[in-house]
A and B are shown apart, each in its own frame.
Chain A
């Protein structure tokens, strides 16, 4: 039997709980409003510059349009044409080749260099500045600089090789060497961001963990595998996806300036081909179809490489 006093007590607790729930809902609503307020500008800009163009590009991919005559609806014909287009197939292969040559070295070298410069030594800030230098040089300026470095007649690489009696090749006009030569420049340009992100992650590692491991007799390799790597793994995924996207979409400038996609299409990556289709041949529908496919592939890869996150854990 519940007494009157107990009933009153229970109802008081329930009232209190109700008040708490109401306050919590109000707090949640206020938080959501603030969150929305802060997210809104980004959302608006993201929609204008990303979402709407993506949707427009998909819509355009269903038409044949040269910016002059009226667009003609062709359905999915542009997508069907992709598989029949040898240059499109070649440019996909070249893009994959560039990603392999670019992403893996960028991640590994960024990590290695970050570990090396994550120590304080005399003049370490100057050394770090040199490592970060490429990030402040534009892609086009870098490409022009490297075109000179690769020059077979006056470039320093062949001059250096010549000093050892080795005859250098014409790096950018050689179907075998052009892509590795371009990828080296891209890795050089993308290293600083990777180093910065890795450095930030390395500096977050609790030094007591490393000291404890040392006391327990862990060697450098064991510390790297069991302490450092687990702590930098999320950043590695981030660097991987940033570079994957960056190399696929942002390599246009370097390729355009250094090789123009040649020789013999050996550096004709997809983004360069899309540019030629859209702006040299004015085949905007077909170029949009290729762009849409590229977008879907990169979005898929981003999902694959993004580590799963528990929303509750985040909260």
Chain B
């Protein structure tokens, strides 16, 4: 099956052939399950609302591949507060679906709330999808590090998203600037972004870079690159460390200069993808999941590059959304749920349909070089960047409870506003944020033991 496909594809290099061979067991196993009589019935899946468009064809393809099955999906709100409210309410009403979507930061909370089941049950069930099928860094985002569910994996990543640099080729061509490459560091990025920035008086009309500074995918790798960590030995935030203050100062100085657009500005120019799509930002730091939206909106040619180095080393943010069976799904519809997951992660099953939307880098290393997503028509042309940058990914510490993450996000946004709008010192603003965040951490620890 795999060999037939390869023989039809021109210009395959050795890596791609090897990747195809590595993926073969998954493909064959997924197919064999169907041939030996897969379970039938109705599978209920709760889907994050922004994924509906890309997942509808996946469900249709599964129904076509498995006669006698039907996928009934319901939508979940994608905003943090509403998502948790929706799933916690469904859990209390005992109306959870068989499979639910979630984001990495909720892994522990949803596990403890009884919304998600331990996916080791599926990974150790003897099917072709096993623990080592997944990119470890992404699977580990769903590893619960403490508490009663410690050691369990409460989600399987749908994709492997790391932050890369999107750039507008026309803006670079117009300014006669060379495109970003692997040699770029932060200083070079600032230099080029400054040249690409356009202003009307004191108002920036085009930003050199759109970057959400109070986003963990920006500050966690930055602090790591500067040789420190976000949390101290006790698991509390140390935002006033030298590395942290230096990192935030590097970014916020450029926000104050009107060269970088961060949350305060991005809210008014359509967030990162909207700003890039409309040409209001020449570069953005973003992820593969936003490629479909960018492709829909942007008129100019564009491409992607690796994130620039900071302090001589390369680190980048990472994150993912995931699927997990629910305890009800495990109890009432386990065979069908497991069959769907097996098919979903197979090269010719869900991964093929999903990657064709440009929204996903497969979380399965065996598919990093698969033509199902690397051979899609450009832009972006430099797709290797997405898989190559995975090795540089730094995740947000999984010990941060989701409730506290909400406080972190809001306090760092306030710190940014204090610095950018009110001229507060970076160290003072971070100190204020740190006080409130660590108070929330202490409160959370006291409540949950």
Which residues of A does B touch, CB under 8 Å? 64, 66-69, 72, 147, 151-153, 167, 170, 172-175, 260, 262-265, 275-276, 279-283
Residues of A within 8 A of B109 (CB): 68
Q: Is the CB of A282 within 8 A of B268?
A: no
Q: Is the CB of B112 within 8 A of A68?
A: yes
Q: Is the CB of B414 within 8 A of A279?
A: no
Contacting residue for B414 out of A64, A147, A152, A265, CB 8 A: A265
Chain A to chain B: the 10 pairs with minimum beta-carbon distance, closest first: A279-B81, A280-B406, A68-B113, A263-B417, A67-B88, A280-B81, A264-B417, A281-B403, A282-B403, A279-B85
Cβ of B190 under 8 Å from chain A: no
Contacting residue for A276 out of B204, B406, B418, CB 8 A: B406
Contacting residue for A280 out of B80, B203, B205, CB 8 A: B80
Q: Is the CB of A173 within 8 A of B88?
A: no
> In the assembly, what is the distance between CA of A260 and CA of B205, in Å?
23
A-B contact pairs, 23 of them (CB 8 A): A64-B447, A67-B88, A67-B92, A68-B88, A68-B109, A68-B113, A69-B112, A69-B448, A153-B200, A153-B269, A173-B268, A174-B421, A175-B422, A262-B413, A263-B264, A264-B414, A264-B417, A264-B421, A276-B406, A279-B82, A280-B406, A281-B407, A281-B440
> In the assembly, what is the distance between CA of A8 and CA of B422, in Å?
96
Closest to A68 in B: B113
Cβ of B56 under 8 Å from chain A: no
Which residues 71-105 of B have a CB within 8 angstroms of A?
A: 80-82, 84-85, 88, 92
Residues of B within 8 A of A280 (CB): 80-81, 403, 406-407, 410
Cβ of B10 under 8 Å from chain A: no
Closest to B85 in A: A279
Cβ of B201 under 8 Å from chain A: yes
Q: When each residue 196-221 of chain B gets 1 if its CB lies under 8 Å from chain A and 0 otherwise, what string results? A: 00001111110000000000000000
Closest to A264 in B: B417
With A66-B447, A152-B203, A279-B81 in contact, do A262 and B417 touch (Cβ < 8 Å)? yes
Which residues 136-183 of B have a CB within 8 angstroms of A?
A: none
Contacting residue for B84 out of A64, A170, A263, A282, CB 8 A: A282
Which residues 393-420 of B have a CB within 8 angstroms of A?
A: 403, 406-407, 410, 413-414, 417-418
Expressed in whole angstroms, the minimum distance between the Cβ of B5 and any Cβ of chain A is 46
Cβ of B267 under 8 Å from chain A: yes
> In the assembly, what is the distance between CA of A92 and CA of B101, in Å?
37
> In the assembly, what is the distance between CA of A174 and CA of B203, in Å?
14
Q: Is the CB of A275 within 8 A of B81?
A: yes
Residues of A within 8 A of B203 (CB): 152-153
> In the assembly, what is the distance between CA of A265 and CA of B448, in Å?
28
Which residues of B does A touch, CB under 8 Å? 80-82, 84-85, 88, 92, 109, 112-113, 200-205, 264, 267-269, 403, 406-407, 410, 413-414, 417-418, 421-422, 440, 447-448
> In the assembly, what is the distance between CA of A264 and CA of B203, in Å?
21
Residues of B within 8 A of A153 (CB): 200, 203-205, 268-269
Residues of A within 8 A of B406 (CB): 276, 280-281
- Classify the secondary structure of A's interface with B: loop
Residues of A within 8 A of B81 (CB): 275-276, 279-280
Residues of B within 8 A of A260 (CB): 267
> In the assembly, what is the distance between CA of A283 and CA of B446, in Å?
13
Q: Is the CB of B82 within 8 A of A152?
A: no
> In the assembly, what is the distance between CA of A175 and CA of B205, in Å?
22
Residues of B within 8 A of A264 (CB): 414, 417-418, 421-422
Q: Is the CB of B421 within 8 A of A167?
A: no
> In the assembly, what is the distance between CA of A172 and CA of B200, in Å?
19
> In the assembly, what is the distance between CA of A167 and CA of B200, in Å?
11
Expressed in whole angstroms, the minimum distance between the Cβ of A106 and any Cβ of chain B is 27
Closest to B264 in A: A173
Q: Is the CB of B448 within 8 A of A167?
A: no
Residues of B within 8 A of A174 (CB): 421
Q: Is the CB of A147 within 8 A of B417?
A: no
Closest to B404 in A: A281
Q: In the complex, which of the residues B113, B200, B204, B267 has the most CB atoms of chain A within 10 Å of its own CB atom?
A: B267
Contacting residue for B403 out of A66, A151, A172, CB 8 A: A66
With A152-B203, A279-B81 in contact, do A69 and B421 touch (Cβ < 8 Å)? no
> In the assembly, what is the distance between CA of A86 and CA of B82, in Å?
25
Residues of A within 8 A of B113 (CB): 67-68
Residues of B within 8 A of A175 (CB): 421-422
Residues of A within 8 A of B264 (CB): 173, 263
Expressed in whole angstroms, the minimum distance between the Cβ of A61 and any Cβ of chain B is 16
Residues of B within 8 A of A265 (CB): 414
Expressed in whole angstroms, the minimum distance between the Cβ of B233 and any Cβ of chain A is 25
> In the assembly, what is the distance between CA of A68 and CA of B80, in Å?
16
Expressed in whole angstroms, the minimum distance between the Cβ of A195 and any Cβ of chain B is 32
Closest to B405 in A: A280
> In the assembly, what is the distance between CA of A46 and CA of B243, in Å?
56
Closest to B115 in A: A68
> In the assembly, what is the distance between CA of A260 and CA of B85, in Å?
19
Q: A173-B264, A276-B406, A279-B85 are in contact. List 6 more A-B contacts (CB 8 A).
A: A167-B202, A262-B414, A263-B421, A276-B410, A280-B80, A280-B406
Residues of B within 8 A of A173 (CB): 264, 268, 417, 421
Expressed in whole angstroms, the minimum distance between the Cβ of B305 and any Cβ of chain A is 27
Residues of A within 8 A of B410 (CB): 276, 280
Closest to B406 in A: A280
Closest to A168 in B: B203
Expressed in whole angstroms, the minimum distance between the Cβ of A127 and any Cβ of chain B is 34
Expressed in whole angstroms, the minimum distance between the Cβ of A310 and any Cβ of chain B is 46
> In the assembly, what is the distance between CA of A72 and CA of B82, in Å?
24
Closest to B407 in A: A281
Residues of B within 8 A of A68 (CB): 88, 109, 112-113
Expressed in whole angstroms, the minimum distance between the Cβ of B111 and any Cβ of chain A is 10
> In the assembly, what is the distance between CA of A68 and CA of B202, in Å?
49
> In the assembly, what is the distance between CA of A174 and CA of B421, in Å?
7
Residues of A within 8 A of B422 (CB): 175, 264
Expressed in whole angstroms, the minimum distance between the Cβ of A167 and any Cβ of chain B is 7
With A265-B414, A276-B406 in contact, do A152 and B447 touch (Cβ < 8 Å)? no
Expressed in whole angstroms, the minimum distance between the Cβ of B115 and any Cβ of chain A is 9
Q: In the complex, which of the residues B80, B440, B447 has the most CB atoms of chain A within 10 Å of its own CB atom?
A: B447
